[in-house]
Structure 1
Amino acid sequence: MADTTTTGKIGKFTLNHKNKFEIDISGQTSLDNVDKANWMRLAAGVNNSTPAANDTTTNDEYYDGEGFGTSDVTSKRLQITLAGHRLEGDPAQDYIASKQLAIGDDLKTLFRWTQPSGDTITGVVTLTSIVSSGGAPGAKQTFSVVIVFNGKPIFAPSAKVAVTSVIVTPPTDSVKVGNTVKLSTAVTPDNAADKTVTYESSDNLTATVTSDGTVTGIKVGSATITATAGDKSGKSVITVTTA
């Protein structure tokens, strides 16, 4: 199934694990050397990520504001805090842990953040606030790092990817008059441009369907429920039986 929760036609919730973080363990310090980077995924042992823009703002009042001020963002410093448990032997964690006593340029490398949409943010970063141990005696050791982007990162929007298939589960089912059955729908690929699913019943007098795939039996008979995302659709045939 897709890693989203549909909330009707207005949107959906995306699960955090769809974010992908990668660090260059060769220590390249220029965006001109992205093709030389040795990318390792920073995921194992990590259970929390917190991005922050660190806006710098100016607050001003002008005579034409009639006593009300304005606020302008004059700069940003993007950072991501990653935290979890120390997993020794993981290349990405080991690289960061090896920099715990480093200073200056030795703490700089390349970092890439691929968002659930497929958009990527790539830049030169400084590894700060490295923690590679600590915790209660019977607990796993702590791991955390604050990854700070130096200057403006490169933002690369994902290419528009079309939906290739819509699969409705179960493909056939039965429900008694007055009862409900819930359908689930998987849309591929994961990075499709529009994965919003809409449902339609071929016969609303026999069975109706809501925006979350819940089918209600109205009268004895059968109806085909069609789920559509992008220009693809899948179907489930629902047989309505006596109560």
Structure 2
Amino acid sequence: MATSAEDLLKYGNVSQNYLTEYFVGDSNMGLTAPEKLFYIADGIESAEPKQDDKKSSKAYFNGGGQETTTITGSTRSVDFSGDRAIGDPAQDLIAGLADTTGSARNKWFRENEYIIGDNGKLQLVSSRTGIVTWSDITDKGGNASDPGSFKATATYTSKPQTLKTPADATKLATVLTETPSVNSKILGLDAEVQGATTPGK
């Protein structure tokens, strides 16, 4: 059946970066949300997720000499930067890792992605959870009259558990219970899992 222009014309939801919520937990074992977990936000100006791909390129005779690139591995990380907020539990936990090495740098980590739905509610559409290694930690520094800087990179030690609606709506409801939306409090909006019949706060 032929595809029409109407079929091709689709609109997504362009959301602002602050709607993605990041959490760090004082644990380095498993995917279960630890008792002590903290919202990474105070003083944070930028969060830059990136995917570092390991590539292999080869040219075969039946490809006319054209190289074909294959992704043989991929590692996800998030670069955080901003101002040092002393007393913020998330920043204090991460900054406290600067003098450690090895597995002591590993902590539980979660990324929750929200949109604002047509119903005016925050809707959780995806979540990633895993253990990350914290590296390149900058705890203060800069010009005399400027706020102290803060930088750190969270790199997953293995492929994170990724949940997306609608297939994982039930599991995302558990995620919303374990890590309630902080923007729900900030913005005064209810939060729910996209497509769920029972909203959460």
Question: TM above 0.5, one fold?
Answer: yes
Identity of aligned residues (%): 23
Higher helix share: 2
Q: CA deviation at 1:37?
A: 4.1
Aligned residues: 158
Give the distance between the partners of 2:162 and 2:154, measured in 1 at CA.
17
User: How big is each residue's C-alpha offset from its partner over 1:181-221, in whole Å with a ceiling of 9 and x where there is no partner?
Assistant: xxxxxxx8665648xxxxxxxxxxxxxxxxxxxxxxxxxxx
Separation in 2, partners of 1:125, 1:88 = 22
Judged with a 3 Å threshold, the aligned counterparts in structure 2 of structure 1 residues 128 and 193 are, in CA distance, closer, same or farther, namely same
Contact kept? 2:125, 2:194, Cα under 8 Å: no
Structure 2 length as normaliser, TM-score? Answer: 0.72
Unaligned runs of 5+ in 2: 1-8, 115-123, 173-188, 196-201
1:100-143 deviation digits (Å, cap 9, x = unpaired): 11111111110001112431100011010000111111110000
Cα 1:135–1:112, aligned 2, differ >3 Å: closer, same or farther?
same
Are the counterparts in 2 of residues 37 and 110 from structure 1 also a CA contact under 8 Å?
no
Quick one: distance in 1 between partners of 2:60 and 2:190?
52
The answer to which structure has the higher strand fraction is 1
Q: Secondary structure at the match of 2:71?
A: strand
Residue identity opposite 2:42 in structure 1:
A
Q: Structure 1: where are the runs of 5+ without partners?
A: 1-7, 162-187, 195-243
- Show the 5 A alignment for 1:88-103: 88-103=86-101
TM-score (norm 1): 0.60
RMSD across aligned positions (CA): 2.2
Equivalent residue, structure 2, for 1:166: none
Greater RCO, CA 8 A, separation 6+:
2
> What letter corresponds to residue 53 of structure 1 in structure 2?
Q
Of the two, which has the highest radius of gyration? 1
Structure 1 residue runs of 4 or more that deviate by more than 3 Å after TM superposition: 188-194
Where does residue 16 of structure 1 map in the other structure?
17
Shift in alpha-carbon separation, 1:63–1:9, aligned structure 2, 3 A: closer
Letter in 2 for 1:87: A
Instruction: State yes or no: 1:129 paired with 2:136.
Output: yes
For residues 132 and 77 of structure 1, the distance between their equivalents in structure 2, rounded to whole angstroms, comes to 25
